[in-house]
Amino acid sequence: MMKRKIKFNILSLSLLSIIFFGTLLSAVSASTIYQLGLTKSTEEYTVIQYDDAGWKATINPVSNPKVFFQGDANVTDAKSKQTIKGWVDQTYTTYDALLSLYFSLFEYITWNNFKTNLTAAGYDNITINTAYNNTYDAWYGLSAEWWFTDGIYKEKPNNTASPIIIMKNPSDYKLILDNCNALINEILNNTAIDPSFKVLFNSFANKTADDFLWQLVFYGFGVAQPGADYLNKVVSDLACVNTTASGSTLIFERTGVTDYTVEVSYGSKGILSTFVVKNVGDNIIYEITSSNADWIFFTILISFIAVSVAIITYVVVRNRKLKK
Partner 1 sequence: MQREETIKDGILPIYNTIIFEIKMQRKKFYFFFIITILVVVLMGYILVLIPSNLLADTYVEFFSGGLTFIRFITLFAACLFFSGIICSEFDKRTGFIVFPKINKYKLILGKYLGNLVLVVSIVAIYYFLLAVFGIWYYGPVLNIRIFYSFGFAVLYVIMLSSFVTFFSSFLKNVNVTIILTLIILLIGFNIADSFVTLFLKDAFEPLYSLIYLGNLITSILQNPFPNPRYEEFSFGGTGPGGMGGRFTIGNWITPSIEMGITLFVVYIVVFFVLAAYLFKRRQL
Q: Using DSSP bridges, classify how beta strands 79-93 and 243-246 pair: parallel, antiparallel or unpaired.
A: unpaired
Each residue 151-190 as x (binds partner 1 by CB under 8 A) or -, in order, gives --x-xxx--x------------------------------
Binder among 8, 9, 20, 22 for partner 1 (CB under 8 A): 22
Q: How far is the CB of 160 from partner 1 (least distance, A)?
A: 5
Task: Verify binding: residue 134, partner 1, rule CB under 8 A.
Answer: no
Q: Is the distance from CB of 268 to CB of 227 less than 8 angstroms? A: yes
Task: Verify binding: residue 278, partner 1, rule CB under 8 A.
Answer: no
User: What's the rounded Cα separation, in Å, for the pair 61 and 71?
Assistant: 19
Task: Verify binding: residue 90, partner 1, rule CB under 8 A.
Answer: no
Task: Verify binding: residue 68, partner 1, rule CB under 8 A.
Answer: no
Nearer to partner 1, 38 or 73 (CB): 38
Task: Verify binding: residue 293, partner 1, rule CB under 8 A.
Answer: yes
Q: At what angle do helices 209-217 and 227-238 cross, to 10 degrees?
A: 140
Q: How far is the CB of 22 from partner 1 (least distance, A)?
A: 6
User: Residue 113, by phi and psi: left (phi above 0), alpha (psi -120 to 50) or beta?
Assistant: alpha
Q: Is the distance from CB of 115 to CB of 188 less than 8 angstroms? A: no
Burial 45-79 (b: 16+ CB within 10 A, else e): bbbebbbeebbbebbeeeebbeebbebbbbbeebb
What is the signed CA dihedral for 34, 38, 39, 44, rounded to 10 degrees?
140
Task: Verify binding: residue 57, partner 1, rule CB under 8 A.
Answer: no
Task: Verify binding: residue 292, partner 1, rule CB under 8 A.
Answer: yes
Task: Verify binding: residue 44, partner 1, rule CB under 8 A.
Answer: yes
CA angle 163, 50, 222 (to 5 degrees): 20
Binder among 41, 64, 110, 215 for partner 1 (CB under 8 A): 41
Binder among 50, 87, 103, 136 for partner 1 (CB under 8 A): 87
Q: How far is the CB of 322 from partner 1 (least distance, A)?
A: 12
Window of 117-125, 218-226, 254-262, 297-305 that interacts with partner 1 by CB under 8 A: 297-305
Grouping H, G, I as helix, E, B as strand and the rest as coil, residue 150 is coil
User: What's the rounded Cα separation, in Å, for the pair 172 and 225?
Assistant: 16
Residue 287: phi and psi, rounded to 5, are: -145, 130
Q: How far is the CB of 209 from partner 1 (least distance, A)?
A: 30
Nearest to 239 by CA among 208, 193, 217, 200: 208
Task: Verify binding: residue 85, partner 1, rule CB under 8 A.
Answer: yes
Q: How far is the CB of 214 from partner 1 (least distance, A)?
A: 29
Window of 58-66, 79-87, 222-230, 246-254 that interacts with partner 1 by CB under 8 A: 79-87
Window of 84-92, 100-108, 122-130, 280-288 that interacts with partner 1 by CB under 8 A: 84-92
DSSP one-letter string for 48-70: EEE-HHHHHHHT-TT--GGGTSS
Q: In sequence order, what are the residues at sequence separation of 6 or more whose Cβ sits closer than 8 angstroms to the Cβ of residue 195?
A: none
Residues at the contact surface with partner 1, assessed by CB under 8 A = 14, 18, 21-22, 25, 29, 38, 40-42, 44, 81, 83-88, 142, 144, 153, 155-157, 160, 292-294, 296-297, 300-301, 304
